[in-house]
Amino acid sequence: MENFCGSKPPEGGCGSRQAQGFYPLWQPTASVFHGNRRFADCDPIAQFDRFDPRTTIGLPLEVRAVSRALDFLIPVSEALPQRAVKGNAKREKHFSEWELNFGPHGSELRALPTEPRRHDDGIVQRVRAVFAMLRALLVTCLAAALVPPGAARCGLRGSRGLAVAGRGPNHRVARDTASSGSSGAKYDAPFITQYLSGPYERKASAACNRAITAEWEYITDLTNTTKEELYEQANLDLATFEKEQWEEYFQDLDPERFEDPVVRRQVEFLLALGVAALNETELKDLNGYELRMQNLYSTARICPYGKQDCDLDKEGYSLDPDVEGVMSKSRDYDELAYTWKAWRDASGKRMREDYQKYVELQNKAAVANDFEDMGQMWQAGFETDYFYEDMQYLWDQVFPLYEQLHTFVRRRLRAFYGDKMGPEDGLIPAHILGNMWGQSWINIYDLVEPFPNATSYDVTKALRDQRYNALKMFRKSDEFYTSMGLLPSEMSYGPRAVIEKPKGREIICHGSAWDFCDRKDFRIKMCTKVDQDDFRTIHHEMGHIQYYLQYKDQPYMLRSGANPGFHEAIGDTIALSVDNPKHLKAIGLLEDYDDSEESSVNALMKMALEKVAFLPFGLLVDMWRWDVFAGNVSYSDWNRHWWLLREDIQGVRAPVPRSEDDFDPGAKFHVPGSYQYISYFVADILQFQFYRALCIEAGEYRPDDPTSPPLHKCDFYNSKEAGAKFSKSMALGASVHWSEALEQLTGETELNATALLEYFEPLHRFLRDANGDLDAEAAAIDASRTAGAPALHAAVTVPVLLLALVILNR
């Protein structure tokens, strides 16, 4: 179902469950992504005359509270805008028509805006049917009073032109090319062309190599203060080099003066500095905050549940493997709740003040690069004018599948834990999903297996029985890539790499792949465990290495993924082929597997617990950061906002009370580590597009042939044809817009979840049958929530109505 800046009416019409506020099931006011809220000025005519599509993410929490209170009074159909889509052409980048259907009243209002535009003092809010005009006006005007003029909004794209973030090994950002350039350039185009291919290439690669080497030395020996100081200095040296080069050669360039598209693209990326735009003191402070937060995260320890007064130095649990082991294996509700809270107390809670200072400096760097905030600068790295809208479009595509999976898992968990889960509210306690962050549910497969008597598989035992160790697992992964005619990468897991947790020193165990900027040194850092999960992760990390190798001959500024999501998707595409029964049988890790319909559903459930379950988390981590960077949520509401997103989008809730003394986002590595997370969401979509294309190329899947094996049974191991196609796309690096790289591989030019849905269709069909009619359950949950609501109505809505009258009289 297409949604966000324009939507198709909900399935079942405006009187359906989705339209009446039960979409998704766990949020009576509907998901923040399915509310179809929009900006408008506080004017009763403009309210319906000048819609600017956005979401309520980032609005003051008071406004959301009002919206939720009104939902108790008016749980009726929403006004759903209809965006025009012309034929088979790309989805329009403007909206030619809005159609608003006001539920049972059947009244329609039409507006014909051209390009969606920003309203600095506007607000976005859902409009509902009964009392639609009053409700929309009330909430809109309330928010207009609470949101300061000029406040940044989500997804403000379209007026900037080409603005690219995260390019090149040093994560540069390009400014608005229209403002940067031109006749006052110090050097002409032929000189810059020669300089880029010669002196700059050598000097930039060397400076990057020194910085990456220093970072590697520190990150693999965290308590070594000398290495920490060298790392800080190397970062400052790199920033100084970038600033000097920019000031001398690049700041006044006009990309249009360069006829060669490869040179022009480099110039576009070089037009801005990224965080190097900060002065030396600010940059040193920013590095310091980042290092301190990463160190807090990586050295955090907790006492085990059975000995909560332990000596942390001697008996404390580290995250990997101890804490993660408890979260993945324990089925003790209270032990999991204790461990969940203890980890957040030891990690995120301790870095909240540092993160506030980090946000201030990141935003200062973004403004220096002609962006409104760092969230906007990060989004610009995807080179699409409507990035936020595109993410919404993808989420709408996959939401029905996620809703069915969530329902099935929630019911199975309730059957297992019973009253421990508390009253039914449609939410899953976040600590019982087999993962510290609830992002992957694969570890609770034993509790949710669709057909316990059918064949299932876990090759962990086979890996251990066949005496696999870390090195053998990496070699097996390398062999998969070379079987496709791709490049070998022994150096990445050789003596200079770290593939097992070292003894006697602290290390960030989170798996990562490293490009040392010299076109020959590529390494893996990972604390490998011999199990199926890490076998899959190894193939993912080796995908990064393969991508590095494929584009290593591109110019320095173009040695990067086509967009941030591409890099994450490469290895996951391979893992889709590796982690299926057909391939595991072929490499001797799976025997006696009965390939029945039931066993196929079991296999797809395993994959869905990893891939589909991840999607909302992959989306909301950066949604939270975008709101924080934009100032749409105050420091005093950071943690509350985090849990609002977790509940509204993911359908999970905290197992214990949370407050603003906590900082739960900081308990996830990528937040203190300053890594974009939306790239993982994009990769989760892209990998299925890649996979489908490679399966077709390998002759393993024929979409138009009803006799073809289903997509999920494809294995392109040993396919040189698939490898050649993959290689050709990867070798482009960032030399072309990502849509061109995507078209090279798939024939498509846009992100689309159709391939993912095609892959999981047999499971989706099973889930729909197993879950039955969700409407009755949704109604029951909603009724239980609204029981006893009159007191709330009186307490909340009367003051709100009075406030609305005051606003209207201003």
Q: Give pLDDT, residue 172.
A: 29
Q: What is the CA 180 to chain-centroid distance, rounded?
A: 31
Mean pLDDT lowest for which of 16-20, 546-550, 641-645? 16-20
Q: Are 476 and 486 in contact (CB under 8 A)?
A: no
Is position 758 annotated in a ligand binding site?
no
Q: Give pLDDT, residue 105.
A: 31
Q: Give pLDDT, residue 477.
A: 98
Report the C-alpha gap between 53 and 122 in whole angstroms. 11
Same domain assignment for residues 597 and 684: yes
Report the C-alpha gap between 204 and 760 in whole angstroms. 45
Report the C-alpha gap between 772 and 224 in whole angstroms. 58
pLDDT digits (tens, 9 = 90+) for 551-563: 999 999 999 999 9
Q: Which domain holds residue 558?
A: 388-453+554-772
Q: Give pLDDT, residue 776.
A: 74
Report the C-alpha gap between 643 and 626 in whole angstroms. 15
Tally of residues, the chain = 810
Q: Give pLDDT, residue 786.
A: 61
Report the C-alpha gap between 592 and 594 in whole angstroms. 6
Same domain assignment for residues 766 and 781: no
Q: Give pLDDT, residue 785.
A: 62
Report the C-alpha gap between 548 and 521 in whole angstroms. 10
Q: What average pLDDT does the segment 583-608 reach?
A: 94
Domain-located, residue 330: no
Q: Give pLDDT, residue 555.
A: 98
Same domain assignment for residues 474 and 445: no
Q: What average pLDDT does the segment 442-458 reach?
A: 94
pLDDT above 90 for 779: no
Q: What average pLDDT does the segment 728-748 reach?
A: 98
Q: What average pLDDT does the segment 432-436 reach?
A: 98
Instruction: Please state, for a pLDDT cut of 90, what percent of the chain lies above it.
Output: 70
Is 670 one of the catalytic residues? yes
Same domain assignment for residues 120 and 257: no
Q: Which pair of tokens denotes residue 450?
A: 């669709």
The 10 Å Cβ neighbour count of residue 236 is 16
Residues sharing a CB contact under 8 Å with residue 34, sequence separation 6 or more, in sequence order: 3, 18, 23, 24, 396, 399
Domain-located, residue 792: yes
Please indicate whether residue 532 or residue 777 has the higher confidence score (pLDDT): 532
Band (pLDDT 50/70/90 cuts) for residue 186 is confident
Number of domains comprising the chain: 4
Q: Give pLDDT, residue 787.
A: 59
Q: Are 599 and 418 in contact (CB under 8 A)?
A: no
Same domain assignment for residues 765 and 781: no
Of the candidates 592, 613, 580, the one whose C-alpha atom is nearest the C-alpha of residue 445 is 613
How many degrees, rounded to 5, is the angle at CA 124 between CA 792 and CA 661? Answer: 60
Question: pTM here?
Answer: 0.78
Q: Give pLDDT, residue 184.
A: 62
Query: Which DSSP symbol is given to 10?
Result: P
Same domain assignment for residues 416 and 502: no
Residues sharing a CB contact under 8 Å with residue 688, sequence separation 6 or more, in sequence order: 576, 753, 755, 756, 758, 759
Q: Give pLDDT, residue 112.
A: 30
Q: Which pair of tokens denotes residue 327?
A: 């979260």
Same domain assignment for residues 543 and 605: no
With tokens 């009243």, the residue in question is 105
Domain-located, residue 375: no
3-state secondary structure of 221: coil
pLDDT digits (tens, 9 = 90+) for 237-272: 999 999 999 999 999 999 999 999 999 999 999 998
Same domain assignment for residues 653 and 538: no
pLDDT above 80 for 402: yes
The residue out of 509, 529, 549 marking a domain boundary is 549
Please indicate whether residue 802 or residue 740 has the higher confidence score (pLDDT): 740
Long-range contacts of 764-769 (CB under 8 A, 24+ apart): 764/400, 764/401, 764/404, 766/450, 766/601, 767/401, 767/404, 767/405, 767/407, 767/408, 768/404
Q: Give pLDDT, residue 804.
A: 40
Report the C-alpha gap between 522 and 32 in whole angstroms. 41
Q: What is the CA 103 to chain-centroid distance, rounded?
A: 34
The residue out of 254, 271, 288 marking a domain boundary is 271
Domain-located, residue 280: no
Same domain assignment for residues 195 and 265: yes
* Cis geometry, peptide bond prior to residue 149 (ω within 30 degrees of 0): no
Q: Name the catalytic one among 99, 670, 721, 793.
A: 670
Report the C-alpha gap between 12 and 791 in whole angstroms. 33
Domain-located, residue 347: no
pLDDT above 80 for 138: no
Q: What average pLDDT does the segment 541-552 reach?
A: 98
Domain-located, residue 278: no
pLDDT digits (tens, 9 = 90+) for 699-724: 999 999 999 999 999 999 999 999 99
pLDDT digits (tens, 9 = 90+) for 674-703: 999 999 999 999 999 999 999 999 999 999
Q: What average pLDDT does the segment 769-779 reach?
A: 85
Helix H or strand E segment including 514: strand 512-515
Q: Pairing relation of β-strands 652-653 and 428-429?
A: parallel
Helix H or strand E segment including 780: helix 774-786
Band (pLDDT 50/70/90 cuts) for residue 593 is confident
The residue out of 224, 254, 271 marking a domain boundary is 271
pLDDT above 90 for 525: yes
Q: Give pLDDT, residue 592.
A: 83
Report the C-alpha gap between 615 and 371 in whole angstroms. 28
Q: Which residues pair with 653 in a beta bridge?
A: 429
Phi and psi (nearest 5°) for 27?
-130, 105
Same domain assignment for residues 23 and 105: yes
Give me the DSSP letters along 348-382.
Answer: GGGGHHHHHHHHHHHHHHHHHTT-SSHHHHHHHTT
pLDDT digits (tens, 9 = 90+) for 741-750: 999 999 999 9
pLDDT above 60 for 204: yes
Give me the DSSP letters along 24-80.
Answer: STT-TT--TTSS--EEE-S-TTHHHH--EE--STTS-HHHHHHHHHHHHH---PBP-
Q: What average pLDDT does the segment 598-604 reach?
A: 96
The 10 Å Cβ neighbour count of residue 489 is 23
Query: Which DSSP symbol is given to 498?
Result: B
Q: Across the beta sheet with 38-40, what order do the strands follow? A: 52-53, 38-40, 123-125
Give me the DSSP letters along 91-121.
Answer: PPSS-S-EEEEEGGGTEEEEE--SS----TT
Of the candidates 369, 622, 583, the one whose C-alpha atom is nearest the C-alpha of residue 483 is 583
Q: What average pLDDT does the segment 637-644 reach?
A: 98
Q: What average pLDDT does the segment 115-127 reach?
A: 33
Burial 32-66 (b: 16+ CB within 10 A, else e): bbbbbbbbbbbeeeebbebbbbbbbbbbbeebbeb
Q: Give pLDDT, residue 594.
A: 87
Is position 94 annotated in a ligand binding site?
no
Query: Which DSSP symbol is given to 757?
Result: H
Q: Name the catalytic one among 541, 647, 697, 700.
A: 541
pLDDT above 80 for 212: yes
Band (pLDDT 50/70/90 cuts) for residue 147 is very low
CA-CA-CA-CA dihedral for 796, 430, 32, 789, to nearest 10? -20
3-state secondary structure of 489: coil
Mean pLDDT lowest for which of 127-141, 186-200, 746-760? 127-141
Q: What average pLDDT does the segment 98-111 reach?
A: 31
Average pLDDT, the chain: 80
Same domain assignment for residues 40 and 54: yes
What's the Rg (C-alpha) of the chain? 26
pLDDT digits (tens, 9 = 90+) for 352-372: 999 999 999 999 999 999 999
Domain-located, residue 4: no
pLDDT above 80 for 275: yes
The 10 Å Cβ neighbour count of residue 611 is 24
pLDDT above 60 for 588: yes
Q: Give pLDDT, residue 508.
A: 86
Report the C-alpha gap between 29 and 75 in whole angstroms. 8
pLDDT above 60 for 39: no
CA-CA-CA-CA dihedral for 80, 86, 87, 88, to nearest 10? -90
Q: Give pLDDT, residue 510.
A: 86
Is 244 one of the catalytic residues? no
3-state secondary structure of 805: helix
Is position 540 annotated in a ligand binding site?
yes
Please indicate whether residue 515 or residue 49 has the higher confidence score (pLDDT): 515
Same domain assignment for residues 669 and 646: yes
Domain-located, residue 800: yes
